[in-house]
Amino acid sequence: MEHFRRPRRLRATPQIRNLVAETHLHREQFILPMFVREGLDRPAPIAAMPGVVQHSTASAVEEVRSLLDHGVTSVLLFGVTDHKDEDGSYACRADFVLQRTIQELKETFGDTVFVISDLCLDEYTTHGHCGVLDERGRVDNDRTLIRYQVLAQSLAQAGVDMVAPSGMMDHQVAAIREALDDSDAIDCGILAYSAKYGSALYGPFREAVDVEIANGGDRRAYQQDYRNQREALLEVELDLTEGADMVMVKPASFYLDVLSKVRSVCPVPLAAYQVSGEYSMIVAAAAAGYIDRQQTIQESLTAIVRAGADCVLTYFAKEAAAWL
């Protein structure tokens, strides 16, 4: 029988694997979500998110200084306060911790750091919803947009580089863009939470921002149903039409199919948020010895980028950057 010669494959050394790898992580892709809370004089640990803290303005500045040393240049800020009311008006104050931290970061680091601010109301309302409620206890979309406009202008006045509306209100991008243009904040961008799903993975985050939805309610009326994919494409299209500079898929790891679909139709930069539940599951499993922490973090972030994300919001930003 004539001998059959098969093509010989090169030995897959680490050098060859790195040479031909299709997906690479780099530090500039990472955005670190950070929590700043009023009344703190030192960082306060978040029990549900080991290793993550609520910052004072001073400690947030030091954390960003350390981030920059690691090559991470972008942050997303969330404000936390005990001063809550029905429509979240306290968050619109010029002296609120969110605005003060934005000002301090920009005065200290200038354009070296790119500062994004969450733009929502759940952290600042007594009822824990992302918008203003009507007399029947339902979120009033149009009244909420007015509050979003005021908050956007306040954040822009503080010097934020980009706002990230996360409330999933209809036409929120158009309303915010109009408000920013009216206040001559033409350099302030909008990162739209275009495909934000009603997920079980947000639990640790609610401890981080001290939010509890009144009467055991939920946000299914305005966040997306995790059974749907085409809906995400429609939401992205609407946000792009209204002027979004970037769009986001949230959460990330359970929604890589959505992320990939959005990438195929999205002409602007695409972000994915590796949310609190994703973070805490990896941390807990690694602490129990079930998985290798570093390898799992790297693999999870690579999967998100491989699926199409240009940048990743992740609580592992500084840790992962140190390995790259």
Digit-coded pLDDT (tens) for 3-51: 666 776 667 788 888 888 889 999 999 999 999 999 999 999 999 999 9
**pLDDT, tens only, 146-173:** 999 999 999 999 999 999 998 888 899 9
Q: How many CA atoms lie within 13 A of 160 on its CB side?
A: 28
The single residue of 84, 106, 196, 261 carrying the catalytic annotation is 196
User: What's the CATH number for 25-323?
Assistant: 3.20.20.70
Distance of CA 318 to the CA centre of its chain: 15
Is there a catalytic annotation at residue 196?
A: yes
Average pLDDT for 259-271: 97
- Which entry of 84, 250, 261, 318 is annotated as an active-site residue? 250
Q: Where are the domains of the chain?
A: 25-323
Which helix (H) or strand (E) segment holds residue 284: the answer is helix 276-287
Distance CA 257, CA 269 (A): 17
State the Cα–Cα distance between residues 101 and 69, nearest whole angstrom: 19
130-141 pLDDT, tens per residue?
777 778 878 788
Instruction: Please give the model's pTM, rounded to 2 decimal places.
Output: 0.93
CA 183 to chain centre: 25
